């Protein structure tokens, strides 16, 4: 019988002080989709003890190919509720606040004032909201990681962390970079892909807003979420990457 606790493997690397630091940290994950759900799961397994989870959507069948919270049994449930239950199943002592709402640019300041955190991960897709989150975090020196696009790409080795002004290839990064410059955002750390996206056809009769031309491999959002969690955990612990 194995007598190890859920934190023993972490303590061997981090010591009890590092484990305690993670347990006391509070991380906000905005967007509990393919990237955000996998990120939140990895943060919970990695020892982060407190969460603010933000998403307005419910689990749909189309989410099953890439989202950690998407199963036949969770269809129709609010994503933040499923994510909360998953985290509690990983760590019953976790402290979790769920916000079942869509964040618009004008909501950002109030969100952070009402829900102060140590770290923010932006894994939602709306450009104007990304910029508002980045502007707030830049002005208030709140650590932020923002996920760029994973759609229509295949190669996880092309994923990279960079300042938004150093990105290339990624169409979403191009749009965000241009608008961030206009907004005077000094620094915005992102995870993006340097791979040229594949060209796909939109579904016949689909509305432009549906973005039915975007396809996603099962593993890309999961790997992005794991990478964001890794970078956030190391940042919280003060561990530098080469």
Question: What pLDDT is recorded for position 140?
Answer: 97
* 8 occurs within a structural domain: no
Question: What pLDDT is recorded for position 2?
Answer: 76
Cα torsion 116, 118, 124, 129 to 10°: value is 60
Q: What is the number of other CB atoms lying within 10 angstroms of the CB of residue 101?
A: 12
Q: Is 234's pLDDT higher than 70?
A: yes
* 77 occurs within a structural domain: yes
The CATH number for 197's domain is 3.40.50.720
Interval 128-171: pLDDT, tens:
999 999 999 999 999 999 999 888 999 999 999 999 999 999 99
* 141 occurs within a structural domain: yes
* 212 occurs within a structural domain: no
* 213 occurs within a structural domain: no
What token pair was written down for 81?
């509720």
Interval 3-23: pLDDT, tens:
899 999 999 999 999 999 999
Question: What pLDDT is recorded for position 228?
Answer: 98
For the residues 192-211, what does the mean pLDDT come to?
A: 71
Question: What pLDDT is recorded for position 208?
Answer: 54
For the residues 212-241, what does the mean pLDDT come to?
A: 94
For the residues 185-214, what does the mean pLDDT come to?
A: 77
* 91 occurs within a structural domain: yes
Question: What pLDDT is recorded for position 200?
Answer: 75
Interval 35-62: pLDDT, tens:
999 999 999 999 999 999 999 999 999 9
Question: What pLDDT is recorded for position 202?
Answer: 62
Contacts 24+ apart (CB under 8 A), 126-129: 127/172, 127/175, 127/176, 127/179, 128/104, 129/30, 129/103, 129/104, 129/105
pLDDT band with cut points at 50, 70 and 90 for residue 199: confident
Domain count, the chain: 1
| pTM attached to this predicted model | 0.94
pLDDT band with cut points at 50, 70 and 90 for residue 204: low
Q: Is 205's pLDDT higher than 70?
A: no
Question: What pLDDT is recorded for position 66?
Answer: 97
- Which domain covers residue 82, as residue numbers? 15-201+219-237
Interval 70-111: pLDDT, tens:
999 999 999 999 999 999 999 999 999 999 999 999 999 999
């Amino acid at each position: 019988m194995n007598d190890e606790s859920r934190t023993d493997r972490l303590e061997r690397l981090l010591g009890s002080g590092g484990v305690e630091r993670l347990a006391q940290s509070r991380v906000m994950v905005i967007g509990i989709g393919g990237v955000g759900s996998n990120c939140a799961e990895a943060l919970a397994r990695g020892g982060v003890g407190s969460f603010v989870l933000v998403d307005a959507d419910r689990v749909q069948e189309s989410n099953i190919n890439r989202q950690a919270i998407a199963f036949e049994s969770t269809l129709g449930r609010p994503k933040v509720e499923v994510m909360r239950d998953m985290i509690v199943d990983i760590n019953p002592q976790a402290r979790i606040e769920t916000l079942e709402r869509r964040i618009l640019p004008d909501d950002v300041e109030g969100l952070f004032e009402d829900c102060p955190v140590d770290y923010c991960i932006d894994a939602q897709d709306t450009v104007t909201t990304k910029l508002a989150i980045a502007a707030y975090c830049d002005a208030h020196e709140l650590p932020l990681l923002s996920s760029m696009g994973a759609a229509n790409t295949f190669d996880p080795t092309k994923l990279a962390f960079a300042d938004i002004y150093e990105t290339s290839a990624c169409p979403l990064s191009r749009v965000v970079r241009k608008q961030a410059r206009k907004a005077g955002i000094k620094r915005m750390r992102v995870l993006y892909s340097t791979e040229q996206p594949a060209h796909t056809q939109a579904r016949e009769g689909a509305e432009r807003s549906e973005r039915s031309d975007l396809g996603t491999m099962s593993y890309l959002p999961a790997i992005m979420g794991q990478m964001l969690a890794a970078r956030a955990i190391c940042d919280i612990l003060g561990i530098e990457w080469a």
